[in-house]
Structure 1
Amino acid sequence: MDNHGGAHLGMLMEHPGVEDQAERAMTAVGALVLQLRREAGYSIGSLAAAAGLSPGLLSQIERGQGNPSLTTLIKLSQALKVPVGRFFDTKDQGGALVRRNDRRRLEVAEDNLIYELLTPDMSGQLGMLRAQIAAGWDNEDAPFKHAGEECVTIVQGRLHVCVNGVGYDLEEGDSLTYDSSLPHWYRNPTSEDAVLIGAMTPPSF
């Protein structure tokens, strides 16, 4: 079960109209899930079963009415065999430069969980992102698993990272490099947000 199901997903920017943008973001995510489900030949019931979700929740997500958490998106991405990064917003960066306020963003607002893409997109040989991991959050029940190699550096707070069953307690300034094809998950055991910078090659978050 997804224990973060009440969290709101949004790709939100720092200006008026945030609620409208969140609604549009959920609609866009729902449309993408519907498209990917049909391309993969799944019914709602079969995809829900493959992802370990209820058909009702999946139907709500596809209609833009659900509030999927990152855990839910991880489960869907794994069932659909696409990277979680497909759910980033899709605005065109228009070149190599990414301004701070123009980062492609994936946000679970109520859980204060934010992923920002630091590279223009995920179509090159290298991907970099900034992640803000909320106090108490973890994805042990739905670990990441994607081809390639990854390095994370903690720039704020502390974070427990588990790779293929081996746990590492990281503090500010610590880095960890690992084979990202192995199951890996994060836990913030503290009462404050943690922030990391991650690099992936190939980009396959």
Structure 2
Amino acid sequence: MDKEQTILNVGRRIRAIRDQRSLSLRALADQCGLSVNAISLIERGENSPTVASLHMLAQALQVPITAFFETETAKTIIYVQRTNRPPTQRNGIGIESLGSGLHNQQIEPFLITLEPGAGAQAEPVTHAGQEFVHCLTGEVEYTVGEQLFLLHRGDSLLFEASQPHHFRNMGTDPAIMLLVFQTTLGSHMASQSHLTD
């Protein structure tokens, strides 16, 4: 599946979930904070959504972000081949879902590629659950509360996501990190926005 098809499928899933909840574009826009036009472009596959947009939509629709990447009914085992997870890219950030569709899924794993200077929005975010990050390559600056962490290859960070936090690539080379959100138990709501639109 190529990048364009992935974007189109994500848009279709968002539209299907919105329709299941009998929400108009305006109602969803009011709930998630995105414009009607932005949601419409995403649903039609004409705009590649950021993680921030996906988080906002997931929260408003009360589903995990991974629900937007599901193509089959929920399973008890998920196997994702590297060639079947084309990244969604925008503003210097590549986002790859590493697994979705698990029955009662409570974690959302992503592979994030950050170009130099790219990263989370300027204002820190908070959300329910926990967050785990593991730096695979490059340097990622992660701020959690009042603490600043400079993650290098092999460094990890685990924290309660109710603390204000954000990240960015401070290096001169691309950085790649594993980012895992633990969703609120029982609610299947994804965390709030992380990356700028």
TM-score after normalising by structure 2: 0.70
Which residue of 2 is the match for residue 132 of structure 1?
Answer: 113
What SS is found at the alignment partner of 2:118?
Answer: coil
Q: Percent of aligned positions with the same letter in both sequences?
A: 28
Q: CA deviation at 1:38?
A: 2.8
Which residue of 1 is the match for residue 49 of structure 2?
Answer: 68
Which residue of 2 is the match for residue 23 of structure 1?
Answer: 4
Which residue of 2 is the match for residue 180 of structure 1?
Answer: 161
Q: CA deviation at 1:136?
A: 1.8
In 2, the alpha carbon distance for the partners of 1:113 and 1:45 equals 28
Counterpart AA for 2:63: V
Q: CA deviation at 1:89?
A: 5.3
Instruction: Note the alpha carbon deviations across 1:124-174, whole angstroms, 9 max, x for none.
Output: 566644332232222225866554333222121111223345432222222
Structure 1 residues 106 and 74: alpha-carbon distance in aligned structure 2, compared to 1, 3 A threshold: farther
In 2, the alpha carbon distance for the partners of 1:194 and 1:151 equals 16
Counterpart AA for 1:90: T
Cα pair 2:9 2:69 within 8 Å, conserved: no
Which residue of 1 is the match for residue 35 of structure 2?
Answer: 54
Which residue of 2 is the match for residue 171 of structure 1?
Answer: 152
Counterpart AA for 1:38: D
Structure 1 residues 180 and 107: alpha-carbon distance in aligned structure 2, compared to 1, 3 A threshold: same
Higher relative contact order, chain-length normalized (CA < 8 Å, sep 6+): 2
Counterpart AA for 1:43: S
Map of 1:143-182 to 2, 5 A cutoff?
147-164=128-145, 166-182=147-163
Q: CA deviation at 1:110?
A: 6.8
What SS is found at the alignment partner of 2:170?
Answer: coil
In 2, the alpha carbon distance for the partners of 1:142 and 1:114 equals 20
Cα pair 1:30 1:63 within 8 Å, conserved: yes
In 2, the alpha carbon distance for the partners of 1:77 and 1:100 equals 24
Cα pair 1:148 1:200 within 8 Å, conserved: yes
Q: CA deviation at 1:104?
A: 4.1
| Stretches of structure 1 lacking an aligned partner (at least 5 in a row) | 1-12, 14-20
Q: Does 1:78 align with 2:56?
A: no
Cα pair 1:121 1:127 within 8 Å, conserved: no
In 1, the alpha carbon distance for the partners of 2:52 and 2:32 equals 10
TM-score after normalising by structure 1: 0.68
* Match 1:42 to one of 8, 18, 23: 23
| Stretches of structure 2 lacking an aligned partner (at least 5 in a row) | 185-189, 192-197
Alignment coverage as a number of residue pairs: 186
In 2, the alpha carbon distance for the partners of 1:33 and 1:120 equals 15
